[in-house]
A and B are shown apart, each in its own frame.
Chain A
Amino acid sequence: MTANAPPLPSSFTTVIGLEVHVQLQTETKLFCGCSTQFGAPPNTQVCPTCLGLPGSLPVMNRRAFDLAVRAALALDCHIAPFTKWDRKNYFYPDLPKGYQISQFDLPFSADGQLEVVDPKGGWSRKVGIIRVHLEEDAGKSMHDEGAGTGDTRIDLNRAGTPLCEIVTQPDLRSPQEARAWLNELKLLLVYLGVSDCNMQEGSLRVDANVNLHIPCDGGPEAGGRIAKTPIVEIKNMNSFRSVERALVYEVARQFAEWQTTKAEMGKTPKQTRGWDDPAGVTRAQRHKEESSDYRYFPEPDLVPVTVSQAFLAETRGAMTDPPTVLRQALEAKWKISAYDADVLVNQGRDLVAYFEALAEAVGEGKVASNWMQQDVLRTLNERGGTIGEFPVRPPVLAEIIGRVAKGDFDTSRGREIFAEVLSSGRSVADVVASLGIAAVDDDELVALCRELLAENPKIVADVQAGKEQAAAGLIGQAKKKNPNVNPGKVRALCVDLIRKMG
C-alpha cells in the first residue's frame, strides 16, 4: 500500500471508528440567509449573523433540519422527540463567534447502523452509528506555507454552513472495510439528496479513530489478555483512498510503536495525527482538548425543536429507496447478478433510471446490463459528463440491441453503430444505411456459404470428422466476401450444409 509502512505483523485486531461531517444540500446557511454556493470570491457570502457581529441572532433553517432527519432515518437512527443546541467554546480565527453552535447532550438522533456488503459476497460489516447531530461549519484559514511568518488569511464564506456530524461505533476491522463503508455512506446520502458529498469541495470530511487489540501471552483463551494500543485520531484525509492509506500506515506504525514502548490505552492522552498524503505518513499534532475544555452550555439564542410522529412519517414517505433496497430490487426485477446490480446502483440514481428505461425497452435485463457496463459506462468514463446528458438515449440503444437480437448484425457491428450514432447524432437506420450494413438475405447467405465450402475442402473434412470447431476458420473468409454477414449465422449454416453433404 505505502512504501513507508513498516512490515505488517501477524495476529491482532484493528479497531476503527469514523467521524464524518457532511454538508447538507441547502441554498442557505444554517442560521442565516447567506448562500452556501461553493467557490464564490472570499467573504462575499457573509452577514452579521455568520460573522458573529453584536446584536445578530440565529434562526434555524428548516430544510437543513429536514435533511438532517432524513440522513438519520436512512441510517436507522432513533430520532429524539426533543432536541436542543449547545455552544462549543474555543478560540480560533476561523470561528468568528468564539463558539460553534453544535449539539452536546441531546443530539437529534442516535443509535443507528449502516451495513456494507461486498458485492462479490466475500464479507459484510454492520457498523453502528452512535449519534448524528446538526451543527454549523467554521470558516476557512489559509496559511502561508512558504516562510511560516506571513499572515493567515481568513475566508468566512463557509462559516455557518449546515453540517451533519455522523459518529460511528468502533465497528470497522480493516482500512479496506473503512473505505468500502465510506463509499456506501456517500452513496446513501447522495441518493437521498442529503449531500453531494464532494470531498474536493469539502462537503464530506472524515476523521478516523484507530487502535489495535493485541493478544498477549497467548490471548484470553490461553489465560492471557488483550492489550489495547492508545487511540489515535487521524485528520487531514482528503479522499477515501487517503483514508485507507492513512489507516494502513497507522496500523503498522502503532504495532511497531507498541513493540517498542508497550504503551497502552488510557495511560497516554488521546493523540491526534495528521495525514501527509504526498509523504504517505501520519504526523503527530496537538493533543486534543477534553470535552470539558469546550465548556458546552445550552445555546440561549435558539429554542429547542420537538419532532412529532407525523413529521417522521411524512419524512419517511418522501424518502426514495436507499441503495441496498434498490440493488435487491434490480436483481429481482431484471434477473441480474448481485455484482451487476451493485455496479449499476453505485453509479447513482440517474444511471439506474437510464438502465431501467433501457431494460424496459429491450424487454430483458441481463443484455441491457451488459451494454450498460461494457459500452455506456466505458464511453461515459472516456467522455466525462453525466448519464443525464449522454447523447444516446435508452430507446435508441434499445433499437440497436433489438436489431442485434434479431440477427440483423452481430454485437461487434452493433458496437460500431453505437459509436457512430454517439459521435454523429444520426439515427440508427441512417447509420446502418451509411455504413453499408444491410441485412444479408438468406439466399445470398446460402450461396456465400456454398462458395466457402467449395474453397475449403480441408475444413469440410475436419467438420465431417467431428471437429465442429474447425468451422470457425470460415468466418474470417466470409467477412472478407461480405462484411455484413452475421458470423453466428454463417457458422451455423456451414455446419448444417456440411451435415447435409453427408
Chain B
Amino acid sequence: MSSPILGSTPAHGSLTRKDVAKVALLARLALTDVELDTMTRELTTIVGFVGQLEAIETAAIDPLAHPLDTQNVFRDDVRRPSLSTAEALQSSPRHDGEYFLVPAVLGDTGAA
C-alpha cells in the first residue's frame, strides 16, 4: 500500500534525496544542499521508526479514524456575526481595504 503522505515511497527502508526534495517543494521549504542531506538522513530514521509499527499484527483491530471516541458533532445552520472587513484584513501583509493582496498568480490551480 502506498502512503498518502509519502506517495509510493515504502514506509520503511531508504528515503532518497529526491523524495525529500519533492516533499520540501510541496511544503514550500527551500532547503540548502546541506539541509537536504541532513533531512534525508533524519527522515530516513523517522520513517524507519514508523516502519517498526508494521511488524505489529493489526488484522483483528479496527482502523482508528480519530483518537476521540466522540462522533456526530454538529451545529445548527444559523448565522453568527462575521468579523468586520478591517478586522479580517488587519494581520494581512498587504491589503487594499477590501481585498487581501498577494503577488500576481498566473493561471488557476482551482483544486477544489
Contact = CB atoms under 8 A, between A and B. Distances in A.
Contact of A295 (B2, B4, B82): B4
Contacts of A64: 77
Given A35-B79, A61-B77, A91-B28, A46 B88 contact: yes
Interface in A245-299: 274, 285-286, 289-298
Contact of B83 (A48, A89, A290, A302): A48
Interface stretch (B10-18, B36-44, B52-60, B102-110): B102-110
B34 interface: no
Interface residues of B, number: 49
A450 interface: no
A149 B104 contact: yes
A201 to B, nearest CB: 15
Interface in B87-110: 88-89, 91, 94, 96, 98-110
Contacts of A34: 79-80, 82
Interface stretch (A20-28, A369-377, A473-481): A20-28
Given A88-B111, A292-B2, A305-B71, A33 B101 contact: no
B31 interface: no
Contacts of B102: 93, 151-152, 154
A310 interface: no
Q: Is the interface of B mostly helix, strand, loop or mixed?
A: loop
Contacts of B100: 43, 93, 153-156
Interface in A28-77: 28, 32-35, 41-48, 51, 53, 59-65
Contact of B80 (A33, A91, A104, A235): A33
A303 B66 contact: yes
A32 B80 contact: yes
B76 A153 contact: no
B79 A33 contact: yes
A122 interface: no
Interface range on chain A: under 10, 10 to 19, 20 to 34, or 35 or more?
A: 35 or more
Contacts of A45: 82
A150 B96 contact: no
Contacts of B73: 59-60, 302-303
Contacts of A42: 85, 98-99
Contacts of B75: 33, 59-62
Interface string A223-261: 000000000000110000000000000000000000000
Nearest to B4: A296
A295 B5 contact: yes
Given A100-B112, A303-B71, A141 B82 contact: no
Contacts of A53: 91
Contacts of A150: 104
B61 interface: no
B30 interface: no
Interface of A: 21, 26-28, 32-35, 41-48, 51, 53, 59-65, 82, 84, 88-93, 95, 100, 104-106, 135, 137-138, 141-144, 148-156, 163, 205, 235-236, 274, 285-286, 289-298, 300, 302-306
24 contacts: A28-B79, A33-B78, A33-B81, A34-B82, A35-B82, A42-B85, A43-B88, A43-B89, A43-B99, A46-B83, A53-B91, A59-B73, A59-B75, A60-B74, A63-B77, A92-B109, A105-B4, A138-B112, A141-B105, A143-B104, A151-B101, A292-B5, A304-B66, A305-B72
